[in-house]
Chain A
Amino acid sequence: MSKNQSWILKHPWSVRSFHYLLVLSFIPLAITGVVLFFKPFDQLTMNLYMRIHVVTGVILTLDAVAYFIIGFTRVIAFVKRSFSFSVNDIKWFSILGGYPQKFLLGKKVPVPPMGKYNSGQKLFGICVLIGGTILIATGWGLWGFPHILPHGMTALFGTLHLVFGWILILFLLVHVFLGIYMFDDFKAMFLHGKIPYEEAKEMAPLWVETEIVKIER
């Protein structure tokens, strides 16, 4: 980090540690989930994958519950931001944030001003909030009580787990790609939590204008 540059703390410690555990649990969950869906291996291997799926599912649950308790205000802020919509979101989606133009045509198009999260991130946030909650709840039901819950409910749990699992896996691929592409944000999430002021001003001008205050040191 350059000392001459201004930095904004985007991801505090609580968010970063939640995210570390999320990465450590969700990626193995996704891989083992896909394997469990296609059932390609022998008994012992499938059982090993299921055990990894269960253990990482428990880790993800504990991570989510702990973050919900410890970072409650952050969770509320995240929910609020994810569910705040304006006409800019429609404009953003109409050009998909300018990413296709950038990647496919090498062209930079004007992008409507965004808050801390752009419209795509907000959609992802909504999917994570709803889908993650459903995956956790249905996962526990399917693991612990498939034989005790009413059959119709277990079958519904199975379908929801499958549908939201695939949705989040597909979103994860986009999230990982764009996360690495926006390397300053990637470093912020995995290392120090801070992004350059100039980049924040470009990527999230509404956030910088309305929420960021200068701290003199």
Chain B
Amino acid sequence: MNAEARTYQKGEIPGIIGIDADVCKGCDSCKRYCPTGAITGMFGAIHSIDVEKCINCGQCLINCPFGSIYETVDTVDTVIAKLQDKSVTVVGIPAPAVRVAIGEEFGMADGSLVTKEMYGAMRKVGFEILDNNFTADLTIMEEGTEFIVRARHALFGEEAHGHKVGPLPQFTSCCPAWVRYVETKYPSLIPNLSSAKSPQQMAGPLAKTYGALEIWKKPPESIYTVGIMPCTAKKFEASRPEFASAYHFLKKEGKAGSDTPYPDIDTVLTTRDLARLFKKMKIDFTKAGETDGGPLAEYTGAGTIFGNTGGVMEAALRTAYKVLTGNELQPLEFKPVRGMKGVKSASVTLMDTKYGKEVTVNVAVVNGIHGNIEPILEKIMAGTSSYHFIEVMNCPGGCVNGGGQPIKSGGSSWLRAALPLFGWK
């Protein structure tokens, strides 16, 4: 822990990503991928990470050709110990992007969708399952509904009951690297972030309240929640002290079972970590068998596409359309926000049946913060942006290319705009 850290709250993990000085070649690859300029070190010299600027996205890690960048937080052994402790119910919360990547760690073809195999292997080692797709659906209901509230407030002066309505444009808030980016670099735009928690942080309280009491019939304090994420920044997100909602709710209800607050998410494993856990526990993923996820593994296509760039926006627009017009968006696919362009934008005209007026919504999807987000933020700050709703994913391609995903020997440089060539300074 870095006691000097100034951009972290008490209890947060400062510095999820580290550079091994013995392995670093000073080649500058990582600097080219870092969205915040957090990597210091001159060309040819050993590099290091400024934890104050780092948003924990792990793009440097998956793009270091020499494998010199590593995660400082490794809780695989802790999770194994919890799985072996019969007094603990370990709930695995696999994110949408994990199921299309973990197979690669076991020799399966790139992009293999292995949801049921993943459930099977998780069950075999002792996990209960709360599929994060389920809470991705909840997030999108929250974000979509919040957007409608903000839009109606801006257009028709409608007030919300019991809370202040945030400004437009509304940013998505499910990417923890993006949230920290706003907090550290553009704090005046914090009100523009959706107030909805990320799917991971909705899953934690759900597991420790409804899941514990209604599904598994276990004391909430005996539930150990494990986010299984394609993302290194999720480790940081889970450590944020404000995320102890389950404890505070249960305390009020007299069901907390402890006087010491417990976090909503106890720990986070990346996709790579989960693969390592299976290997350590001698599970042959390819032969683990297929099972269903159970009652907390029901989800829609909206939750599924969360892991892809444009997925959150597409899901939000479907929700907003349904809420405003009462009908399903037809066709369901909203293709203008798909694809690998750095910034994608579209306009959608919707009929708000409550007010009987057509509303044109300008949306944007930022596919990778690096090199894409600043011009948009500057326009918003100058009051000249025409956007109403903006999805921002730190990693190019979305969570499928997150810092916690299997490291591809082919790299992922092709996913983004051209980066500078030829190191010098």
Contact = CB atoms under 8 A, between A and B. Distances in A.
Contacts of B27: 142, 146-147, 154
A106 interface: no
B411 A150 contact: yes
A36 B42 contact: no
Contact of A47 (B44, B64, B413): B44
Given A145-B421, A149-B65, A151-B410, A46 B45 contact: yes
Nearest to B67: A155
B345 interface: no
Main secondary structure of the interface of A (DSSP, over half): helix
B39 to A, nearest CB: 12
A44 B42 contact: yes
B396 to A, nearest CB: 13
A146 B65 contact: yes
Nearest to B422: A144
A158 B25 contact: yes
A143 B422 contact: yes
Given A47-B425, A155-B66, A158-B65, A147 B33 contact: yes
Interface residues of A, number: 27
A43 interface: yes
A104 B133 CA distance: 77
Interface string B219-260: 000000000000000000000000000000000000000000
Contact of A151 (B46, B63, B421): B63
A142 B33 CA distance: 16
Interface string A140-178: 001111111111101100100000000000000000000
Contacts of B64: 151
A46 B65 contact: no
A203 interface: no
A44 B26 CA distance: 12
Given A148-B413, A151-B410, A46 B44 contact: yes
Contact of A155 (B65, B421, B424): B65
A49 interface: yes
B26 A146 contact: no
A190 B12 CA distance: 65
B28 A39 contact: no
A5 B64 CA distance: 62
B310 to A, nearest CB: 24
B41 interface: yes
Contacts of A43: 41-42, 45
A50 B65 contact: no
B283 to A, nearest CB: 27
B70 interface: no
A186 B423 CA distance: 37
Interface string B14-54: 00000001000111110011000000011111100000000
Contacts of B45: 39, 41-43, 46-47, 50
B224 to A, nearest CB: 35
Interface string B404-425: 0001111101000001011111
B424 A154 contact: no
B132 to A, nearest CB: 28
B411 A47 contact: no
B331 to A, nearest CB: 37
Given A147-B419, A158-B66, A49 B44 contact: yes
Contacts of B29: 146-147, 154
B44 A51 contact: yes
B409 A152 contact: yes
Contacts of B423: 50, 143
Closest 7 CB pairs of A and B: A50-B44, A154-B65, A152-B409, A46-B45, A47-B42, A147-B29, A43-B45
28 contacts: A36-B44, A39-B21, A39-B46, A42-B45, A43-B42, A44-B42, A46-B26, A46-B44, A46-B46, A47-B44, A47-B45, A47-B425, A50-B43, A50-B44, A50-B45, A53-B44, A142-B25, A145-B421, A146-B29, A146-B65, A147-B29, A147-B33, A147-B65, A148-B411, A148-B413, A151-B63, A155-B67, A158-B66
